[in-house]
Amino acid sequence: MFSGSGKGIDIVQINRNFGNIYQVVIDQNNARGMNLKATVARGFTQGNGTLWSVDFNWALLFPNRIRHVQYSLSTSESFPNHVLQNVSGNRVLVESNVAMPDDVYVTIN
């Protein structure tokens, strides 16, 4: 448990850019008065359309370092074709072939 002054300071801060990052896992922390930062994150979005974007900038410690994505698309209507369209800028973009109300759950590291 990280406890801060309530001013929204990140629990982990980096002072420079790293060229290579291997075998670093920051996950399952909790904080009071601080911003959680991690190398693993889970996100959710819902909407009625063909594109869903989940932004992980709020959670990820390193910019543009998403290496693995797992997502699921849940709908109450017929099952659409869908694909992981893009992973950049700490955002995950999922696209389907038809517009319908869907929930998209994403886990990244």
pLDDT, tens digit (0-9, with 9 covering 90-100), for 6-25: 677 777 777 777 777 777 77
- Specify the number of domains making up the chain: 1
**Closest of 53, 56, 59, 80 to residue 11, by C-alpha:** 59
DSSP calls for the chain? -EE--SS-EESS--SS--S---S----S--EESEE--BSSEEEEEEEEEEEEEEE-TTTBSSTT----EEEEEEESSSPPPEEEEEEETTEEEEEEEEEEEEEEEEEE-
Kindly tell me if the per-residue pLDDT of 32 is higher than 80.
no
Q: What tens digit of pLDDT does each residue of 64-102 get?
A: 889 899 999 988 877 888 999 999 999 999 999 999 898
For residue 45, name the pLDDT band (cuts at 50, 70, 90): very high
Split at pLDDT 50, 70, 90, the class of 2 is low
User: Domain residues for 93?
Assistant: 2-108
| This prediction's pTM | 0.80
Question: How much is the mean pLDDT over the chain?
Answer: 85
